[in-house]
Amino acid sequence: MTTTIGDIHDANDHDANDRDDRDLNGRDDHANDPPAALLDTADIARFFERHEPDLYYECKREFDREVDLNPYKRHSEAVLNLVRWMFYDWFAFECAIVMTGKENADGYPQTRRVPRGEGISPFGYMTELAHVQDMIDDAVRSDLKEVDATNKATIFWIRDANAATQRMRLEDVMHGGEYTVYGGDLAARYDGAHGGMLVNRIARVRGMWRFCAVCLYESRRPDTPRARQKLLTGFGKGGYQPDFPGLVRFFYGRAKDTGLDWEETEALLRRRRKR
């Protein structure tokens, strides 16, 4: 996700766009279809930071509080950048706003935050704004509205990956179900994998699921049936099912009960096993 809002780009950085859910090795009859469009969530967040700073910083404080990075620990630049992108994605896709009927100081429709499930997302707001300003046409608007309506973030177990078709077959650990997803670079990186974990956001556009965000976490190992079962037990129905900031907290922040992050918890468990 490296372009500006006005420079709409492909959701998966590839040229294929299948419209059905045939098997992973099936022939692609839509390889020459135009790719699906996507807005840059960083640009969306920065737009609101500039034009609706009160709303933006209210959301930023909530996200930072929920993720709870250890302020006394030196985090790598890569981790800090990743958590920043996770905020951009959460803000754009999951926060909810309504227009007040007034204009803000910069002449844009003024917004205020509402509970999730009401109003529209900042992603939806920017889609309509870009369309009204003739930055995107009806076809791109349709793609973006599908992304807005169908996107979901969850933990996936990799069932299969194929670099040639750019497809991955993923099992939704948290909610159940299986998805055939255009994987692009991820499909190439995990080519031939029959196990491993991805935590990412997908959306269904023109009949095909595809990634629409920066990957929160990925690991090719462990890839055993036992590892899969532990994930299903821990995060499946009846297990721990956090919201998106909670997922970020699990991998990078401090647990609410112990105050320890994942690395500190692993180190503690290793010490206990050695006793």
In a 13 Å sphere around the CA of 154, the CA atoms on its Cβ side amount to: 24
State the Cα–Cα distance between residues 134 and 125, nearest whole angstrom. 14
- pLDDT tens digit sequence for 153-168: 999 999 999 999 999 9
- pLDDT tens digit sequence for 27-60: 344 444 557 889 999 999 999 999 999 999 999 9
Least trusted range by pLDDT, from 73-77, 80-84, 159-163, 268-272: 268-272
pTM, two decimals, is 0.85
Amino acid at 166: Q
Q: What is the mean pLDDT of the chain?
A: 87
In 37-92, DSSP assigns E strands to 37-38
For position 148, what pLDDT does the model report? 98
- What are the sequence ranges of the domains in the chain? 34-149, 153-241
CATH 2.40.50 matches 153-241: yes
State the Cα–Cα distance between residues 260 and 244, nearest whole angstrom. 19
For position 14, what pLDDT does the model report? 33
**pLDDT band (50, 70, 90) for residue 17:** very low
